[in-house]
Amino acid sequence: MELQLYTELIAIGIALFYTLAIFSAIEAIIHVRTAQGAIAWAISLLAIPYLAVPCYLVFGRTKFDGYLEQRKAIGEETVELLRQTRQEVARHEVPRSPAEPLYNALFNLTGIPAAGGNQVKLLIDGQQTFDSIVAGLESARDYILLQSYIIRDDGLGRRVGRVLADKARSGIKVYLLYDEIGSYNFHRTGLYKQMKMTGVEVAAFNTTQGRRNRFQLNFRNHRKIIVVDGHSAWIGGHNVGDEYLGLDRHIGHWRDTHIRLQGPALLGVELAFATDWRWATRTALPVVRPDVQPGLYGDDNVLVFPSDPASTLEQAGLLFLQVIVAARQRIWIASPYFVPDRSITSALQLAALRGVDVRVMIPDQPDGPVVGMANWAFSRELLPAGVKVYRYENGFLHQKVLLMDNHLAGVGTANFDNRSFRLNFEITVLVDGERFAKEVATMLEGDLLHCRQVTQAEIDAKPAWFPLGMGVARLFAPVL
C-alpha cells in the first residue's frame, strides 16, 4: 500500500514538473526577446526539464516583475517631485531638432531631457576618483546618497565608511544602497554594522524581492552613484573595494574611469537613486530637491540615461545603437565585457564600412574563460569589416567609455553585453562638448599605447580547438 502511495506521489510530481516545463516553455516563447534565446529555452525545457526548469527559474526571464508597478507607485507618491525635477531640467534643456535626431530618440527612451549648464570632470583610475569622492563626501552639509554594486569591508571601504559615519553622527542624512548579489556578504561585515550604529540609512537592492523574482539571480543593480547635497555627483566604473585602487596582487593595475558631474543634469541621477531606494525600502526618499541655479557650473550639455530591465524597450542597447548609427568620423568603445548582440555587431560593421574609425578596446585578460572566448568570437566577426580591436595588456580594463566623433562622450556603468542591455540596472552619462570629448580621446589614446591590436593572422594561428571554443562561447552570449 505504501509503495503504491509513493508511486502515485512520484507520478504526480513528474506530471507537475512537466506541466511547469510546458508553461515555462510557453512563457519563454512569448517573452524572451531574441528568437535564438526563445528557441533554446523552449527546446531545453521540453527535452531536459529536470535540468532546464531550475535554470530557467534562475536565469530565464528578462523582465523584472514588480519593479514597473513599484515605479508607478513612486510616481503616484512623489508625482510632484518628478514633475518639478523634469520641469527644472527642462529649464536648461538642450534644443532638439529634426536635424539632430540623437537627443530626440534618447529623450523618448528615458523621458529626461539633455540639459546644458553643467561641468563634467574626467577622473582616471582609482586614486584620483576616490580622492575626489572622499573630498566631496567630507564637504557634505545636508545629505549624501551613495549606491554601489559592490561594497567591501577593506581599506577603501573603511575609508569611505569613516566619512559616512562621521557625517551621520553630525546629523547629515546619509543613504547607502548596495546590490544584494554583488555585495552578498556585506550585511555580515563590521563595516555594515558600523554604518547602522552611526545612523546611516542602509538598504539592499533586493532583486529577489517579489513573488515571481524569488529564484531570479539574473537581475542586478549595477549602478554606481554618489550625490552630495544636490550639487555634485560621481558616476562610473568604480565600486568600493581595494582592487579598484589596483591593490589586488592577483589582478594588478585596475584601469577604470569615473566622472564628477555638477549642474542641472544631476537631477536625473538623483531621480534614479530615489527610484531604486523606493524599491529597496518601500519608502520615498525625502531629501532630493530639484533646485539648481542656472549658469553656476559650466557649459557642458549632459544627458543622464538610467536604464533597467523593467522597461518595455531595451534602453541601454538602443542608446549604444543610436550613438553608433549617428557616428560620422569615429566611434571608440572601451568595455571589459564586450559580448554584443546582433544589432550592435551589425551597426559596428556598417559604421566601419562607411568609413567611420571604429575601435574596440577590451582586456587582454578577461574576467573568466567563457567571456574571453566570446570576446575572440566577436573580434573575428568585426575584423573583416575594418573594425579595429585592441586588447589592453597593462592590468585589467574595467572602464565603460564611449567616444563618438569630436563632440560626444559617454561614461557610466553599462558594458557592451546582453546583461547590461537587458538585465541590469545601469546608468550612463553622455556629455556633448568638444572639450570633454578631447579629454576622453587623449585618455583613450594613452590606453591604446598599452594595447595590442588584434589581427586576423593572430586568430588564424590559434589552436585547432579554438574555433569550437568560440562557437560554444557564442551560444552562452545571451547570459554572459
Q: Could you say which of 222, 238, 258, 388 is catalytic? A: 222
Q: Could you say which of 65, 154, 166, 229 is catalytic? A: 229
Q: Could you say which of 92, 167, 231, 398 is catalytic? A: 398
Q: Could you say which of 63, 400, 417, 447 is catalytic? A: 400
Q: Which amino acid is at 397?
A: L
Provide the angle, in degrees to the nearest 10, between the axes of the packed helices 369-382 and 466-475: 100
Q: Residue 405 catalytic?
A: yes
Q: Residue 229 catalytic?
A: yes
Q: Residue 438 catalytic?
A: no
Q: Could you say which of 224, 231, 238, 258 is catalytic? A: 224
Q: Could you say which of 173, 405, 438, 450 is catalytic? A: 405
Q: Residue 388 catalytic?
A: no
Q: Residue 92 catalytic?
A: no
Handedness of CA 302, 308, 313, 317 (dihedral sign): positive
Catalytic residue positions?
Answer: 222, 224, 229, 398, 400, 405
